[in-house]
Amino acid sequence: MSSYYSDKLYEGKETIVVAMDIGTTHSAVSFVYLSPGSRPQGKMVAHWPGQPHWNGAAKVPTLVSYENGLVKGYGLEAEKDFEEYPENVARWFKLHLHPAAMKIPNAEAETFETPPLPKKITIEQVYVDFMQYMMVNTHKFFEMTTPNGEEIWARLRDTATIVLATPNGWTFNEQEILRRAAIKASLVTGENARRLLRFVTEAEASVHYALANHSLAWLQHRAVFAVIDCGGSTVDTTVYRCTSINPLRLKETCPSECVQAGGIYVNRKITQMLKDKIYGTSFDDPEILRSMMRAFEAELKPSFDDTMEKYELKFGSLRDHDPTIGIQKGRITLSRQDLATIFDSVTNQILGSCLNTLINQKTKHAILVGGFAESPYVRKVLSRALRHNGIQVIMVGDYTRKAAAEGAIITYIKQFVSARAVKATYGGCVRQNYDKKLHHDRKQAAKIYPDGQMRVDDAFHTWVTKGTVLQETSAYKLPYHLAWDANTRQEDLIGSLGTTGIEVFAWDGDGTSTWCKDEGGKVIKGMRLICTLCADLSALAKGLRVVNGFRGKRHYRVDYIVCVYFGDTQLRATLQWKEGRTFRESEVNVISDVF
């Protein structure tokens, strides 16, 4: 059973933290029971139904099988169902959530088919079912491995913090699907989800895993290094600068990279190659193809090292024989060149996504983690390319463990990363003072506002720009105001103040944008609506006084503040205003895809 021990005593409130990494091909759960006065011990769930303890027990296949719209099996049980009824099994379902920005714009990516979900099953439902399965088995393992576990779980379960690891490239939209699924799966409730459900990027989880499980003799103050997490369907790259050795503190140097590449893309190409080889022969059978792929996944994929001219896949019996297609005694022969070409198609994508960033940031070391990085060939190719550019490679791995799951719980305990780079430009959609240089293309839309100023609607007011490195405790307070003509009726003021709000947008492109929306009110390309901060300020209506504005324009005015706080890996935004001598605050909105 994998464990991580903290080097400090815990002094906070008694609680349980459960971290889940739902991967494309395999998933895992880690947890920690935090008890005042004790050293936190992170553990991996190592007992899954039907899975032998010695066979990579901390990882479970990410599969859910269905029958007539109901769950039939999970993990290894669903793997057996896939052999007979693949159309009833949700497989590689994480791909359904990958945003378009993660996909590589080439013909090969466009032809990659994401396996369809079983009929009448939504992606949200699959996540609900799989989260429930993981939580049920976490519960059992917690009680089995924790002294007085049954009593502790019963007492603390409802206030347990849930941490979900997600790819760097996922946005608020994908995380919102997971949030809804977590609520439906009863991991958290609708009322406490904003407080008890947290997200951490797989890259940040992996750097905590790597640094906790490897000698740090190479790490020096101000050293720049990268973590390349090679997973099943994504490869995440994040570059850090070490700002302190004792205590260890890291700072992101630039926005992280995330590309849709990984082990499953090798599988897909190998499947097609084998399908072409056996086409029209006596071995042209879906079951035989699946047997070949099981052998590839279990034996050849983790051992291919490019040192022999030919490699064999054992898939059948001694009677299986067809020398014309390289099959002898139940084994099919594959050439070194064919295998290397397929692996290279993915490693080239990985290097294309990260190499320039590593060079530009003057990276000295790169830590390779993740299941795909366990491949000897992948390690060799990536190491050779990185060393050629003066970057030393550090391997941290154990095929029985899952870096993101174990690292997510270490992240909660240790918090090595103290500053992160914002991966988009965030701001509000506002009515802005007209600037003839900035807003000349909408001159006709400019209007005199009740305070006497000429303004334009739907302008983007930048709060924090893409690539800005923020400390964990960074906070911004941005003043705004509303204005009405001095002749506005009391009931109209009440109505307007009751629906006060500001839309929060993210700009994914470089630089910034002048506008959030086009002149027709539609969100412009590259801009994403994240949330709307809302507040009921109607109680202020009766106390409003007429004031003088620009050029003596008389009007009613209400001032409020947008407060933006950065902490952990999330942004929290709220509205604040003053009623008499009392400060009020709206409901806090949590934005989870900022870093």
Question: DSSP characters for 450-506?
Answer: TTS-EEEEEEEEEEE-TT-EEETT-EEEEEEEEEEETT--HHHHHHHHTTEEEEEEE
- Specify the pLDDT at position 110: 43
- Report the amino acid identity of residue 266: V
Task: Please tell me whether residues 529 and 547 are part of one structural domain.
Answer: yes
pLDDT in tens, 253-270: 988 888 888 899 999 999
Q: State the CATH number of the domain containing residue 149.
A: 3.30.420.40
Task: Please tell me whether residues 429 and 544 are part of one structural domain.
Answer: yes
Per-residue buried b or exposed e for 89-125, using 16+ beta carbons within 10 Å of the residue's own CB: bbbbbbbbbbbeebbeeeeeeeeeeeeebbeebebeb
Domain count, the chain: 4
Task: Please tell me whether residues 219 and 351 are part of one structural domain.
Answer: yes
pLDDT in tens, 303-316: 999 999 999 999 98
Rounded-to-integer distance, Cα 391 and Cα 557, Å: 58
- What is the chain's length? 595
> Which range of residues forms the domain containing residue 318?
263-341
Task: Please tell me whether residues 309 and 409 are part of one structural domain.
Answer: no
DSSP-assigned letter for residue 582: E
Beta-bridged to residue 523, according to DSSP, are: 517
Rounded-to-integer distance, Cα 431 and Cα 423, Å: 25
pLDDT band at 563 (very low <50, low <70, confident <90, very high): confident
- Specify the pLDDT at position 113: 73
> Last residue of some domain: 414, 448, 471?
414
> Last residue of some domain: 396, 414, 432?
414
What separation in angstroms does the CA of 589 have from each of 283, 396, 489? Answer: 57, 37, 32
**Do residues 207 and 249 make contact, with C-beta atoms less than 8 angstroms apart?**
no
- Specify the pLDDT at position 64: 97
Task: Please tell me whether residues 140 and 249 are part of one structural domain.
Answer: no
How much is the average pLDDT of 232-239? 90
pLDDT in tens, 327-340: 999 999 999 999 99
Q: Which of 346-350, 393-397, 504-508, 546-550 has the lowest mean pLDDT?
A: 393-397
Q: Which residue has the higher pLDDT, 352 or 255?
A: 352
pLDDT in tens, 12-59: 899 999 999 999 999 999 999 999 999 888 999 998 998 776 544 688
Task: Please tell me whether residues 235 and 172 are part of one structural domain.
Answer: no
**Do residues 382 and 367 make contact, with C-beta atoms less than 8 angstroms apart?**
no
Nearest to 27 by CA among 70, 66, 56: 56
pLDDT band at 3 (very low <50, low <70, confident <90, very high): low
Average pLDDT score, the chain: 87
2 has pLDDT over 80: no
> Last residue of some domain: 201, 226, 243?
201
Beta-bridged to residue 229, according to DSSP, are: 236, 369
- Specify the pLDDT at position 355: 93
Q: For the chain, give the longest Cα–Cα distance.
A: 98
Residues in Cβ contact with 535 at an 8 Å cutoff, skipping those fewer than 6 apart = 500, 501, 560, 575, 577, 584, 586
How much is the average pLDDT of 131-136? 98
162 has pLDDT over 90: yes
pLDDT band at 567 (very low <50, low <70, confident <90, very high): low
Q: Which of 164-178, 231-245, 578-592 has the lowest mean pLDDT?
A: 578-592
How much is the average pLDDT of 565-590? 73
- Specify the pLDDT at position 591: 57
Which helix (H) or strand (E) segment is 399 a member of?
none
How much is the average pLDDT of 433-450? 91
**Do residues 368 and 252 make contact, with C-beta atoms less than 8 angstroms apart?**
no
Q: What percent of the chain has pLDDT over 90?
A: 52
Task: Please tell me whether residues 337 and 359 are part of one structural domain.
Answer: no
User: What's the alpha-carbon Rg for the chain, to the nearest Å?
Assistant: 27
Q: Which residue has the higher pLDDT, 136 or 194?
A: 136
Nearest to 368 by CA among 214, 248, 199: 214
Q: Record the tokens describing residue 216, joined without a space.
A: 């740090």
- Specify the pLDDT at position 566: 64
Residues in Cβ contact with 317 at an 8 Å cutoff, skipping those fewer than 6 apart = 330
What separation in angstroms does the CA of 122 have from each of 185, 285, 335, 496? Answer: 14, 30, 40, 39
268: how many CB neighbours lie within 10 A of its CB?
Answer: 16
Beta-strand relationship, 60-61 and 475-485:
unpaired
Q: Which residue has the higher pLDDT, 140 or 568?
A: 140
Task: Please tell me whether residues 86 and 112 are part of one structural domain.
Answer: yes
580 has pLDDT over 90: no
Task: Please tell me whether residues 178 and 284 are part of one structural domain.
Answer: no
- Specify the pLDDT at position 31: 96
Rounded-to-integer distance, Cα 565 and Cα 470, Å: 10
Task: Please tell me whether residues 457 and 559 are part of one structural domain.
Answer: yes
- The DSSP line for 510-564 is SS--SBSB-TTSPBPTTEEEEEEEEE--GGGGGG--EEE-GGG-EEEEEEEEEEE
Task: Please tell me whether residues 92 and 241 are part of one structural domain.
Answer: no
Task: Please tell me whether residues 21 and 156 are part of one structural domain.
Answer: yes
Q: Record the tokens describing residue 119, joined without a space.
A: 């009929």
